[in-house]
Amino acid sequence: MERSAQLTNILPQLNIGDISHSIINQTTHAETLAHLLFLPGQYLLVYKEGETTNYKFIAPAALREAFAAEPIDSGYLPPNTVRWGRCHKGEWLVQFYPPQRYCISLENTTLKIPMPGLIFAGCNRQYWIWSIKKFEQNSPLFYAPLPNVMENGSICFGENSVPNCSPENIMQVWELFWHSAFNQDSVQGKSKSYPEDVRSLLYQLHNNKSKRYPTRDLVPWSNKTITTAIELIIS
């Protein structure tokens, strides 16, 4: 009895009957079977049987077990994917691409250029790209040495429409990024050798038929790592 009195003092006094009837009366969708209310310090299940409104408290342990029992399967993830998850914005993915050469269209000219390792991430309908010297979760990120990538790493797709991020769609967006024409937007602050315009370095790499990107030329991105970048994306 003494413990019950202590709990009564801890939990707020609520008129459960009034709350339950109010919730049920405001329900307009016929297929809604029940409501789970997260009240201060307690959980309440409200449901209707015929004309009777019923309610019962649910123990936190039982609620955790119920949610934990729900299976979650990401399905087969596309190549290069290193992380997948869900947040309040929707699905998110992170991919890593090792150093390699790409063909890009820049000012009506096709360039074949080497790129450093790249981190490509998406959440909802927004996508980001950064460069990286070594793939580890706490490795620092650098600006992607490309036009049309904003200061925060987000990609400008121009008039192109991009789908929601998902394991099924992210490769489509990756290909769209490389096949889109690059221009003069967001070219500053991405190269130590050419701080005013990274395109000068891209032309140089193409003309020299360089096979490796000079990683010493990369510019650090706000002292952020892969882990902190993910936190920013899903927050």
Is 115 part of any domain? yes
- 136: containing domain: 81-234
Is 217 part of any domain? yes
- Same domain? For 87 and 137 the reply is yes
Amino acid 7: pLDDT: 42
| Beta partners for residue 35, in sequence order | 46
What are the Cα distances from residue 141, in Å, to 116, 130, 201? 11, 6, 20
Task: Assess whether pLDDT exceeds 60 at residue 17.
Answer: no
- Same domain? For 119 and 15 the reply is no
Is 129 part of any domain? yes
CA–CA gap between residue 49 and residue 1 (Å, rounded): 33
- Same domain? For 85 and 140 the reply is yes
- Same domain? For 119 and 170 the reply is yes
Task: Assess whether pLDDT exceeds 50 at residue 6.
Answer: no
- Same domain? For 166 and 211 the reply is yes
> Which residue, 46, 68, 90, sits at the end of a domain?
68
- Same domain? For 10 and 91 the reply is no
CA–CA gap between residue 86 and residue 80 (Å, rounded): 18
- Same domain? For 62 and 122 the reply is no
Is 76 part of any domain? no
Residue 224's contacts (CB-CB under 8 Å, 6 or more residues apart) are 140, 141, 232
- Same domain? For 156 and 57 the reply is no
How big is the CA angle at 154 (ends 149 and 157), to the nearest 5 degrees? Answer: 65
Is 109 part of any domain? yes
What contacts 24+ positions apart, CB below 8 Å, involve 34-41? Answer: 39/12, 39/14, 40/11, 40/12, 41/10, 41/11, 41/12
Instruction: Give per-residue pLDDT as tens, 85-118.
Output: 988 899 999 999 999 999 999 988 999 999 999 9
Amino acid 2: pLDDT: 44
> Which residue, 23, 47, 68, sits at the end of a domain?
68
Percent residues over pLDDT 70 in the chain: 80
Phi then psi dihedrals of residue 98, to 5 deg = -70, 165
Is 25 part of any domain? yes
Instruction: Give per-residue pLDDT as tens, 107-152.
Output: 889 999 999 999 999 999 999 999 999 998 889 999 999 999 999 9
Reduced to 3 states (helix: H, G, I; strand: E, B; else coil), residue 108 is: coil
Prediction pTM value: 0.72
Please give the span between the terminal C-alpha atoms of the chain, in angstroms, as a whole number: 44
Going by C-alpha positions, the residue among 185, 190, 111 that lies closest to residue 147 is: 185
Total domains present in the chain: 2
- Same domain? For 53 and 107 the reply is no
Is 73 part of any domain? no
CA–CA gap between residue 153 and residue 131 (Å, rounded): 10
What are the Cα distances from residue 11, in Å, to 37, 56, 60? 15, 16, 14
